[in-house]
C-alpha cells in the first residue's frame, strides 16, 4: 500500500480496437511525455479488444523508467468490457486511475493537473479536450458558462463542485470526455462500467457512479487532450440509416432506466430523466419508421429489447408518429 507522503502510482487504461497502425504509439507516447513529480510511477494497461490491428504488432518507442506497459489481449467484448478488464488488472498499490482512448492523445500538463487535484482532496477530476473540429469539450457547457461566464480555453479556469452537487452536475450535462478523466481508485475500487451498454452511455453512467460517491469533483477548462479519428463505435452509428443507430438510442434509454433504478433522485432529477427518456422514445419511433423497409429485422429486435426494459415505450408511440415532422426537425437541430 502507498505510504503517506509517497509519490502516487497511476494506472492509465487504454482500450484498443483500431484498423490503423500508429495510433496506439501516439497515445502511449503522449502518456510517456507527461511531466510528473520524481518517484511517480505510471502503469499503462492496454486492453486489445480483438482489434483488427493487434496491439502486439504496433511499434512503440522505449518508455522512460517510471513508465511500465502491459498489453492484455481478449476477444472482442466492447469498450465497457475492455475498460473493466483494465480496471481488474490495476495493482493494489495504485492510487489513481486515468483513461485514454487509443486514438486520442494527452497534451502536456494533463497528468500533473489531475494529480494535483486528486492529491488535494478531489475524488474525481476532468479537464478539457480539443475535438479537432473547431470546438472543445467544455466551452459549450451551460453549467460552466453560468458559473464562470464565457469560457476561453486559453485562460483556463480551475473549479470544484462539492458533494451531491457533483452528481447533479454530471446528470445535467455529460461534460467529461473519457480520455480526460482521472479518479481516486482507492475510493472507487469496486466501480465498473455497465457492459450491457454496448454502443452508448457506458461512460456517462460510470461518471454518475463515481460522482454519486465523490466528496469533491475538480475540473479545469484548459485543453489538455486532443481527440483522434480512429475507429469509433459511437461515431459510426451517427447516420439515420445506419442499422446500429436504433440500438445506440435503445442503450441510451436503458442507461436512464438504470439511473432511475440505481440512484436516489430528487423530483427535479426524476423529471429530467423522464423527459430525456420521452425524447429518446420519439427518436426510436422516428428511426423505426424510417428504417422499417431497410432494416426490418434489426428494428424488430431492438423494439423487442426496448419493450423488455421499458414497456411504457408503446404508450408514447401514437403521439410520436403524429409528431414525426417535428421530431425530425429537432434531431436535425441536435
Q: What's the pLDDT tens digit per position in 254-304?
A: 999 999 999 999 999 999 999 999 999 999 999 999 998 889 999 999 999
* Residue 232 binned pLDDT confidence (cut-offs 50, 70, 90): low
Element (H or E) spanning 69, and its range?
A: strand 67-74
Residue spans per domain, the chain:
9-226, 238-333
Q: pLDDT category, 230, cuts 50, 70, 90? A: low
pLDDT in tens, 97-140: 999 999 999 999 999 999 999 999 999 999 999 998 889 999 99
How high is the pLDDT of residue 21? 87
> Could you tell me the pLDDT band of residue 234, with boundaries at 50, 70 and 90?
low
Given a cut of 60, is residue 251 above it in pLDDT?
A: yes
- Contacts with 60 (C-beta within 8 Å, 6 or more apart), sequence order: 24, 25, 28, 29, 69
Q: Could you tell me the pTM of the whole model?
A: 0.92
Pairing mode, strands 105-106 and 124-130: unpaired
Determine the pLDDT at residue 236. 54
The architecture CATH gives domain 9-226: Alpha-Beta Complex (3.90)
How confident is the model at residue 175, as a pLDDT?
A: 85
What whole-number distance in Å separates Cα of residue 211 and Cα of residue 235? 26
Backbone angles phi, psi at 97, to 5 degrees: -125, 140
- Beta strands 105-106 and 158-162 are unpaired
CA distance 128 to 148: 15
Residues linked to residue 10 through DSSP beta bridges, in sequence order = 42, 96
In whole numbers, what is the pLDDT of the chain averaged over residues?
92
The answer to whether 83 and 5 are in contact (CB under 8 A) is no
- Mean pLDDT calculated for residue range 54-77: 93
Tell me the pLDDT band of 6, cut-offs 50, 70 and 90: low
Amino acid at each position: 500500500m502507498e505510504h503517506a507522503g509517497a509519490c502516487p502510482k497511476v494506472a492509465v487504461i487504454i482500450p484498443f480496437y483500431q484498423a490503423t497502425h500508429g495510433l496506439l504509439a501516439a497515445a502511449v507516447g503522449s502518456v510517456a511525455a507527461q511531466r510528473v513529480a520524481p518517484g511517480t510511477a505510471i502503469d499503462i494497461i492496454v486492453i486489445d479488444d480483438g482489434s483488427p490491428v493487434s496491439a502486439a504488432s504496433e511499434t512503440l518507442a522505449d518508455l522512460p523508467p517510471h513508465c511500465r506497459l502491459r498489453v492484455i489481449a481478449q476477444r472482442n467484448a466492447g469498450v465497457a468490457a475492455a475498460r473493466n478488464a483494465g480496471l481488474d488488472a490495476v495493482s493494489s498499490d495504485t492510487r489513481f486511475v486515468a483513461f485514454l482512448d487509443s486514438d486520442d492523445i494527452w497534451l502536456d500538463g494533463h497528468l500533473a493537473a489531475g494529480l494535483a487535484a486528486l492529491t488535494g482532496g478531489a475524488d474525481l477530476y476532468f479537464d478539457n479536450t480539443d475535438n479537432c473540429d473547431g470546438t472543445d469539450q467544455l466551452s459549450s457547457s451551460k453549467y460552466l458558462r453560468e458559473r464562470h461566464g464565457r469560457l476561453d480555453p486559453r485562460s483556463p479556469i480551475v473549479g470544484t463542485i462539492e458533494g451531491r452537487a457533483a452528481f447533479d452536475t454530471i446528470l445535467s450535462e455529460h461534460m467529461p470526455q473519457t480520455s480526460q478523466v482521472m479518479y481516486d481508485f482507492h475510493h472507487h475500487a469496486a466501480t465498473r462500467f455497465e457492459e450491457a451498454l454496448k454502443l452508448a452511455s457506458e461512460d456517462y453512467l460510470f461518471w454518475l457512479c463515481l460522482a454519486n460517491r465523490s466528496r469533491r469533483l475538480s475540473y479545469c477548462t484548459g485543453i489538455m487532450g486532443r481527440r483522434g479519428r480512429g475507429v469509433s463505435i459511437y461515431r459510426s452509428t451517427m447516420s439515420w440509416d445506419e442499422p446500429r443507430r436504433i440500438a445506440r438510442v435503445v442503450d441510451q434509454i436503458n442507461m436512464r432506466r438504470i439511473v432511475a433504478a440505481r440512484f436516489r433522485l430528487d423530483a427535479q432529477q426524476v423529471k429530467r430523466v423522464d423527459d430525456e427518456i420521452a425524447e429518446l422514445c420519439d427518436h426510436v419511433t422516428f428511426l423505426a419508421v424510417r428504417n422499417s423497409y431497410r432494416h426490418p429485422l434489426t428494428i424488430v429486435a431492438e423494439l423487442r429489447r426496448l419493450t423488455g426494459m421499458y414497456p411504457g415505450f408503446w404508450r408514447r408511440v401514437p403521439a410520436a408518429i403524429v409528431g414525426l415532422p417535428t421530431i425530425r426537425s429537432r434531431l436535425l437541430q441536435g
